[in-house]
Amino acid sequence: MRKLAVFTCALALALPAFAAGNMRPGLWEVTSQSPLTKSLPKISPEQIEQLKQMGLDVSQLQNGAVVSRVCITKEMAEQEELPPFNEKEAGCKITKQSHHDATYLVDMQCDNAQMQGKGRSKTVFANSESFSSTADFSGTVQGIPVNDRVDTSGKWVADDCGGIKPFEGKMPGK
């Protein structure tokens, strides 16, 4: 279950990073919350390290929400489409993506030994410094039925990312 929580948080954070000019480059604070994150007493040090290796500074778990700092480069902010996110590592692939104005939709399919199911994400930019997103996943994780929704919000913090490296969207060591 923790693997799904880490994966869905990473996916929710990755989707807004490829928003075709709607997103201001720089340091962002992103807050993600779901029933799964609410049930986690805390993310293990190993999982925090995995997320850091992906370019996510997951510094806090507050009231069931993961609060992260993410660095978005100019090139990332100008992307039209999300690259194949963790297809080999996670066994999930993007099956459809579209956008109209400031709204982005992504469908994904997971079919591997750990996770089977479908997911959909919708991200809406209020402006270049603020977005909200929902990501739904329905299927099984390690044979256990799961219906989870990750609600994410993001706000731009600064032009300079400081010591936070740009988000890579790949599982570490892959």
Question: How many distinct structural domains can be found in the chain?
Answer: 1
Question: Does a structural domain hold residue 166?
Answer: no
Domain that holds residue 71: 2-158
Tell me which range, 5-14, 24-33, 71-80, 87-96, is most confidently predicted by mean pLDDT.
24-33
171 lies in some domain: no
**pLDDT tens digit string along 52-108?**
665 555 556 666 787 888 888 888 887 766 555 555 556 678 889 888 888 888 888
User: Which residue has tokens 């199911």?
Assistant: 117
**Residue 42 located in a structural domain:** yes
- Note whether residue 169 is domain-resident: no
Of 115, 117, 93, 88, residue with least CA distance to 106: 93
The one-letter code for the residue type at 109 is Q
* pTM exceeding the 0.85 threshold for the entire prediction: no
- Give domain status of residue 98, yes or no: yes
SS percent in the chain: helix, strand, coil, step 5: 20, 45, 30
Query: Contact, 38 vs 165, CB < 8 A?
Result: no
Using DSSP, state whether 103 is helix, strand or coil. Answer: strand
Residue 141 lies in a domain: yes
Q: Is 122 among the domain residues?
A: yes
Task: Let me know: does 28 contact 156? Beta carbons within 8 Å.
Answer: yes
Residue 54 lies in a domain: yes
Three-class SS state of 58? strand
Q: What is the DSSP letter of 16?
A: G
